[in-house]
Structure 1
Amino acid sequence: MIGRIRGLLVEKSPGQALIECAGLSYEVDIPYTTFFHLPDAGQELTLHTHFSVREDAHSLFGFAARLDRDLFRLLIKVNGVGPRLGLGILSGLDAHQFIRCVESKDTNSLVKLPGVGKKTAERLLIEMADRIGQLEGQFTPGSAPGSQSAPAVTVAHRPEDEAEAALIALGYKPQEAAKAVSKVASGGLSREELIRLALKNMIPAG
């Protein structure tokens, strides 16, 4: 089991980071909540990881906070929730937000997440209610490690277009992504800022 990786950030994009460690470069799938904590390319970082082995793929998932990683491991034990859906859930809600949803039985926020229907949301609330206790001792708001939010990487496309593409890749419909980005778009905002604000508006605060 690969539980943590430390190395140089080679590349980053919404949903994935390429990390060089001991001469090897690892492709690490990450939720958007971790993407916002990544430093600039060329800087050192540490991610808490979960290594998933399946017949058709070996995948490494990385998280800025150990709480997010541990919650991810609990999520994928829920019936019908695989690693990809677990990553999608933690892209729309960070660990503390998700825990609040469970504690308040807030299905409305969960069904806003791509791939989460009403039945899945209800199953998450029921099954996770008994598992949240396993995370006791990690509830420290604002404890996500990592570094300050990194500035946008210089690219040829408009930040608005990239933010829309990122939301679509996360599972939102093109019309929803375009509408969400247009609501928060203003001069000077980076891709990361647009994604963060768009997601915040699409997922009700709880």
Structure 2
Amino acid sequence: MIERITGKLLEKSTNSVCLDVNGICYEIETTSGTINSLPHINEKLTLFTHLLIREDAHILFGFNDHNTRNTFRLLIKTAGIGARTALSVLSTLTVEELSNSILMQEPSILTKVPGIGQRTAERLILELKNKIKSETGLNSTQVPQIHSDLINALVSLGYSCKEAMKIINFVPENLTISESIKYALKLLSAG
């Protein structure tokens, strides 16, 4: 197993990088979050990796940190979730957003990920709800029901999961659900 890889960044595309390690160039597939945080071309880069060996290919996946790689490994162990779908999940949601959506048991957040339907979202929640905290190293606690309702309401109004997950931290917890929605909408419209 290749634990991590360090080298000079030669190329980057929308979903992969080319890393030169002492004259050997490795193509490494990764998430959009990792791509967005890459250094400039010809600078040193270290990625935590996962090597997937299939009959027809050896594919190297790279991530900025242990938590993201551990979450990727957890996702691909789930029935019906392949490496490409796991990358899609981690490109759409952060590890924390994924963890919170599983802990809140909100399939509507997961279905916003390309390639994840209602059934797959429910399977992810069922299989990962007890594993997500220990495997990813996150210290998450159960999210209050009002936050879950607020996220559902904002997503149904057309806001992205990321916007909804970010805004719930700014909404006071002592409000009713309708007051929370109004407060969140004011915050979102204010920018």
Q: Check whether TM > 0.5.
A: yes
What SS does the corresponding residue of 1:113 show, helix, strand or coil? coil
Give structure 2 stretches of 5+ with no counterpart: 141-158, 166-191
CA distance in 1: counterparts of 2:13 and 2:39, whole angstroms: 12
Query: Are 2:130 and 1:130 aligned?
Result: yes
Amino acid at match of 2:131: R
Deviations 1:121-152 (A, max 9, x none): 00001111121133364559xxxxxxxxxxxx
- Matched-pair contact (CA < 8 Å) for 1:96–1:139: no
* Corresponding residue of 2:179: none
SS at match of 1:20: strand
Could you say if the C-alpha distance between residues 136 and 116 of structure 1 is closer, same or farther in structure 2, counting changes exceeding 3 Å?
closer
CA distance in 2, matches of 1:39, 1:139: 29
Higher relative contact order (CA 8 A, sep 6+): 1
| Residues 74-121 of structure 1: per-residue CA shift (max 9 Å, x gap) | 000000001111011101011111111111112111101100000000
TM-score normalised by the chain length of structure 1:
0.67
Work out whether residues 80 and 120 of structure 1, in 8 Å CA contact, stay in contact via their aligned partners in 2.
yes
Cα distance in 2 between the residues matched to 1:10 and 1:133? 35
User: What's the RMSD between the two structures over aligned residues?
Assistant: 1.6
Q: State the shift of 1:22 in Å.
A: 1.7
1-structure distance, mates of 2:136, 2:67: 10
Equivalent residue number for residue 93 of structure 1: 93
Question: Residue in 2 aligned with 1:3?
Answer: 3
Residues 140-159 of structure 1 mapped to structure 2, 5 A cutoff: none
For these two proteins, the number of residue pairs brought into alignment is: 146
CA drift at 1:202:
4.0
Tell me the TM-score normalized by structure 2. Answer: 0.72
Gaps of 5+ in 1: 141-200
Secondary structure, counterpart of 1:78 in structure 2: coil
Structure with the higher helix share, 1 or 2: 2
Q: Distance in 2 between matches of 1:100 and 1:45?
A: 30
Asked if the contact 2:18–2:27 (Cα under 8 Å) also holds between the matched residues in 1, the reply is yes
Is residue 203 from structure 1 mapped to residue 161 from structure 2 by the alignment? yes
What is the CA–CA distance in structure 1 between the aligned matches of 2:97 and 2:3, rounded to whole Å? 23
